Chains A and B, each alone.
Chain A
Amino acid sequence: MVAFTIQRLLQSVLVMLTVALIAFALFNYVGDPISNIVGQDTTLADRDHLRAELGLNDSFIAQFARFVSHAAQGNFGLSYQQARPVSQIILEKMPATLELSFTAALLALIVGVPMGIYAGLHRHSWVSQTMLTVSLIGVSLPTFLIGILLILIFAVVLGWLPSFGRGAVVHIGWWTTGLLTAEGLRAIILPAITLALFQMTLIMRLVRAEMIEVLRTDYIKFARARGLTSRAINFGHALKNTLVPVITITGLQLGSIIAFAVITETVFQWPGMGLMFIQAVSFADIPVMATYLVLVGFFFVVINLVVDLLYYVVDPRLRIEREASANV
């Protein structure tokens, strides 16, 4: 277990360094960092002076090392647009995005997994067939269209739910949450559904396919022949065997949920990192863009790591072979 974790951690560090390199390249080679900072009328001498002061004349390696070490300490420089530390801006925006993403992921799981189990167990029932057909729509409609449709129906026509913003938030330390106020809860419903819909249908279809596959296996037939109850067979044996792929996909999807929140946040004017990123792009606010990139990369890596470890907890074949080879 320890060897496995260390190996995965090293891999994660490698991936993060690569992402950092891309972000760093964006920082330094898209446009001229000096002209991004100083005004039009700065003299060449002043520019050279600033360049030396900022260490931009150092070797590539030295600059990159400095970038990484600053980033590791949470220092990503100043936003061009707001002239404030990027880390500060990110910290303000992150709670909104994470809350939205986790709510959406939870929604996708809570609805998707039971629907998938049902559709897998009763695959010829009309309910399953209907779910499957409807889920096709969920997979094929683009996110922004779903968002706009939901706004049209529930905000404009019915007037039940707000169409933009996060509602009232409560501060808990540096974190802000909308999940503790009625207004905030109402505000998160539409964007969370919009963001969750695609993943929900994906998870449902995946669980269904895996269930059907597993129910065909010999060990399920043998479990039936042993007279186990349907509940033991379906949940103790079949569902457990579908978990490995489901965990993998769901985990990876959580990463994309955070990344794809950009679209949903734009549609719903949700004050998170996605909206911040879109605004940064339109202002060519490179430090903010680079930081967002590093952060999303970081989330992906952490999620992957957790998925790998879970995988390892669920599947004894992996666990025991690893232990055996680690002991050699």
Chain B
Amino acid sequence: MTPKNTEPLLRVENLRVEVPSRRGALTAVDDVSFDIAPGEVLGVVGESGAGKSLTGAAIIGLLEPPLRIAGGSITLSGRRIDTLPYEAMRRVRGKEIGVIFQDPLTSLNPLHTVGHQLVETVRTHLDMGSVEARGRALSLLGEVGIAAAEERIDHYPHQFSGGMRQRVVIALAIAASPRLIIADEPTTALDVSVQAQIIALLKRLGRDHGTAIMLVTHDMGVIAETAHRVAVMYAGRIVEIGSVRKIIDRPSHPYTAGLMASIPRTSGPRGRLQQIDGTMPRLNAIPEGCPFNPRCPKRLSRCRHDRPDLIPSGDADVACWLYLPVSEPTHA
């Protein structure tokens, strides 16, 4: 899907995130590579604990110690950002990468008005006086669909509903017109009735401003409606990445196939990830070979010993011994 002639906005290569533990370092994100093109929406799915949030946190340089990037590189518009010193990376956050977290109820400081928080963010990144910044705050509120912005701007977060607060959070994320937004489950904490509105808003903003979005979600319906491409994560690795139609309609990896089987086709593409038999291994118990092998219905004998890499296979990249570029005996 990504046209080869455009340079990627974000390039993540062989990213590895580790947590020190008593018995050596555990790998929470393992050899993850992907690109996001300008204006592209990349959906990231996978069961809880797959490493989706940690990947996002690593990109914005906010892994909480003792978590740390142990390898790989992250490049934004051709500039390496994973090695930037704290102060330089701080300028990237908010300015070039906007972030939206899961819970709008707790993302805003209860003791400051939304206007204060908007103006503060605008003035941190853009060279504006307080009057000009307030003007921008007002137009941001208007843009994310908050009516009577003139009045609402001086209200405190607790005076807004959950959906409205998430709109404020989005306004904060786009305050300095970043080219990339990382949205980590932006609708999970919201009422079902407002989830669609928030997603529609994100989609519109992305389109209007050409903003790329990395959208982490458990909601396959949202993926189907919003994403251009999808990355499927399992046990800290990307197991399959490709265009949204390919991933949803013709999944290659047995794990992706299991995820997609849970979407009720008859009632449209909306549906939640359903548990595949068994559970994802914990970090300290990731099996040898293919991490998915204990749960895999199509397991081969080599799956228990050899770890498959993510390699191109047709119109997607897949990490599974079933999709070898060169033919090898597949049954044992």
Residues of A within 8 A of B (CB): 217-219, 221-230, 232, 236-237, 240-241, 314-317, 320
Contact A225 B62 (CB under 8 A): yes
Please tell me if B16 contacts chain A, counting CB pairs below 8 Å.
no
Across the interface, A226 reaches (CB within 8 A) one of B93, B113, B156, B159, namely: B93
Q: How far is the CB of A245 from chain B (nearest CB, A)?
A: 13
Contact B111 A316 (CB under 8 A): yes
Given contacts A224-B93, A229-B124, 8 further A-B pairs with CB under 8 A are A217-B106, A219-B107, A222-B172, A226-B94, A227-B125, A228-B120, A229-B90, A316-B110
Given A218-B106, A225-B93: A320 and B158 within 8 A (CB)? yes
Nearest residue, chain A, Cβ from B110? A317
Contact B156 A316 (CB under 8 A): yes
Q: How far is the CB of A209 from chain B (nearest CB, A)?
A: 18
Across the interface, B124 reaches (CB within 8 A) one of A217, A226, A315, A320, namely: A226
Given A222-B99, A241-B109, A241-B111: A227 and B94 within 8 A (CB)? yes
In the bound assembly, the distance between CA atoms of A314 and B111 in angstroms comes to 8
Given A227-B95, A317-B156: A219 and B109 within 8 A (CB)? yes
In the bound assembly, the distance between CA atoms of A224 and B176 in angstroms comes to 14
In the bound assembly, the distance between CA atoms of A240 and B107 in angstroms comes to 16
Chain B residues whose CB sits within 8 angstroms of the CB of A237 once the complex forms:
109, 112
Chain B residues whose CB sits within 8 angstroms of the CB of A236 once the complex forms:
112, 120
Chain B residues whose CB sits within 8 angstroms of the CB of A225 once the complex forms:
60, 62, 93-94, 99, 101
Using C-beta atoms within 8 Å of the partner chain, give the interface range for chain B. 20 to 34
Chain A residues whose CB sits within 8 angstroms of the CB of B62 once the complex forms:
221, 224-225
Please tell me if B219 contacts chain A, counting CB pairs below 8 Å.
no
Given A221-B101, A232-B120: A226 and B175 within 8 A (CB)? yes
In the assembled complex, 9 residue pairs joining A and B whose CB atoms fall closer than 8 Å, in A order, are A222-B101, A222-B108, A222-B169, A224-B93, A226-B172, A227-B91, A228-B121, A241-B109, A317-B110
Tally inter-chain residue pairs, CB-CB below 8 A.
79
Contact B124 A232 (CB under 8 A): yes
Chain B residues whose CB sits within 8 angstroms of the CB of A221 once the complex forms:
62, 101
Nearest residue, chain B, Cβ from A324? B159
Chain A residues whose CB sits within 8 angstroms of the CB of B95 once the complex forms:
227
Chain A residues whose CB sits within 8 angstroms of the CB of B109 once the complex forms:
219, 223, 237, 240-241
| 6 closest residue pairs by CB, A with B | A227-B94, A227-B93, A225-B99, A218-B106, A226-B94, A222-B107
Across the interface, A227 reaches (CB within 8 A) one of B90, B101, B113, namely: B90
Please tell me if B13 contacts chain A, counting CB pairs below 8 Å.
no
Across the interface, A315 reaches (CB within 8 A) one of B101, B103, B111, B121, namely: B111
Contact B110 A219 (CB under 8 A): yes
In the bound assembly, the distance between CA atoms of A237 and B109 in angstroms comes to 7
Q: How far is the CB of A247 from chain B (nearest CB, A)?
A: 13
Given A225-B62, A225-B99, A229-B124: A320 and B90 within 8 A (CB)? no
Across the interface, B111 reaches (CB within 8 A) one of A223, A232, A240, namely: A240
In the bound assembly, the distance between CA atoms of A317 and B158 in angstroms comes to 7
Q: How far is the CB of B89 from chain A (nearest CB, A)?
A: 9
Across the interface, A218 reaches (CB within 8 A) one of B107, B156, B172, B175, namely: B107
In the bound assembly, the distance between CA atoms of A223 and B110 in angstroms comes to 12
Q: How far is the CB of A269 from chain B (nearest CB, A)?
A: 46
Nearest residue, chain B, Cβ from A220? B109
In the bound assembly, the distance between CA atoms of A218 and B158 in angstroms comes to 15
In the bound assembly, the distance between CA atoms of A315 and B124 in angstroms comes to 25
Chain A residues whose CB sits within 8 angstroms of the CB of B296 once the complex forms:
none
Chain B stretch 116-172: residues in CB contact (< 8 A) with chain A = 120-121, 124-125, 156, 158-159, 169, 172
Q: How far is the CB of B184 from chain A (nearest CB, A)?
A: 10
Chain B residues whose CB sits within 8 angstroms of the CB of A230 once the complex forms:
90
Please tell me if B92 contacts chain A, counting CB pairs below 8 Å.
yes
Nearest residue, chain B, Cβ from A232? B120
Contact B108 A219 (CB under 8 A): yes
